[in-house]
Chains A and B, each alone.
Chain A
Amino acid sequence: MRVESEAQLAEAVRDAGGALAVRGGGTRPVGRCLGEPLEVGISGITLYEPGALTLVVGAGTPLAEVEAAIAAEGQRLPFEPANWGPVLGVRGQSTVGGVVAANVSGPRRVQAGACRDSLIGTRFVDGRGQIVKNGGRVMKNVTGYDLVKLMAGSWGTLGVMSEVAFKLLPAAPSQATVVIDLPAGAAQVALAAALGSPFDVSGAGWLPGTGAVVRVEGLAESVAYRAEQLRRLMEPFGPVRVEEEGSAAIWQSLRDLEPFIGKDGDLWRLSVKPSEASDLVARLGGEVLLDWGGGLIWALLPEGSDVRALASPYTGHATCMRGAAGVTFEPEPAPIATLTTALRAQFDPKGILNPGRMS
């Protein structure tokens, strides 16, 4: 079933006889997708004010359409959403609602925050078929509870979003990347030094075949100055070079996990305390890619690897993005599970919205 308006969406949820598998573009098939497919095709930009850095858009709008519209005004989504389709082996067009539902954030997460940090408003239909709005289209808003954050990363399990509003940022006219030739296990220390410097780093990761990478963005003279400062700062860690023309390609490759595209194995995503990265890289084995200064580890491992056991003990959480793990998302500690179970019962009392998707 495909809905193209909020009213149709509310009706579809109210009339549902059983589970609904909520989907946007279907490019993020993580976890179980049970029930009748419900495709959210509510599309189009409702409001765009470049001078106020705000955008309101139908949840089913293709991400590419949104990015093109705001790029025309020299702006961008601060959180640099990744395109997981190719690495997850699916075709289709990612939608903004899907991006929000999965709280997808790219390398700029270290500087500009996650998707949820840029999300300032949403309208959604809860499991009772009620239309609910929260947040708005202004950057600062503390009127009532922040359900906006709750909706981001809820994978369509609490409500089906019809509209989302974002805070935007000016696109940087210039960027450069400092590349340090060192192995993954040694990267985190160098990246922490970069992130602890005053040079406003907007990306810090490790890419197979390239090495540790540190990005700066902004006005041209400022980028040149900061790249040079960082180059000097990174010299003790290994051979260093500054990439200008190739900078954008490096970050697209890291963001979209290009080194892993088309390769067999299970794909895991671990969000951890950065200082644990070196040790985890050694214990996990397999191929890895690091982002967020080592705080995000992508690992490609032999099928059936028990990643949580290999990684244990560790701080944070692990998600099986592709593969046959029994439990896709990190099991919740008991006190948290009590709260989230009760929240789900309030928002979706019939248990029809993407049931089991986050388990």
Chain B
Amino acid sequence: MHDKTYITGIAAPLLIDNLDTDQIMPKQFLRTITKEGLDRGVLFDLRFHPDGRPRPDFVLNRAEYAHANILVGAPNFGCGSSREHAVWGLQQLGIKAVIAPSFGEIFFSNALNNRLLLIVLEPDKIGLLLQDQAIDKHLAIDLEKMEIRCASHVFSFSLGGRHKKMIVEGLDMVGATLQLLPQIEAFEKRHYAAFPWGYVLPSA
């Protein structure tokens, strides 16, 4: 279930340091003008042989993780390219949350803007969490209490106020900022009076 404040499910370990967005969503799936069909591309080279057959040894192809909706990652998860397709693809694959010691910066913002929950958890806690996985693969993430509950541990985590609000309530960010349009216009007036050479005029 996922009512935006409570996620339960199976967590699959994907413990690759610096797992980049090129791997999460390879280039051939970026030749699109929509968001559709990106689930097929997620972690493509890890999930599939070149001929398209699934790699039976890859974690998400193993029977016990077939219904995983949470990923447990290694440091700098989602580094590299800015491609938001990586987030869209993970969501289309059914992933609701990723837990890792740290995340790539642009990926982090992309996830937030799409309400994919990212939780930063210290490596030692992730180690214990993975030990628990051997007993029971299910996890529960409670956003109200900011807790992860697994077989024998409860880990607390923190989310920034804006982060939590984005995930729980969602937000039409563009709409919210458009409310500030008078402020933006006033800023522009001041800004370009003081800084006219920042106002771009295309060269011939």
Q: Do A and B bind each other?
A: no
Residues of B at under 8 Å CB distance from A?
none
Residues of A at under 8 Å CB distance from B?
none
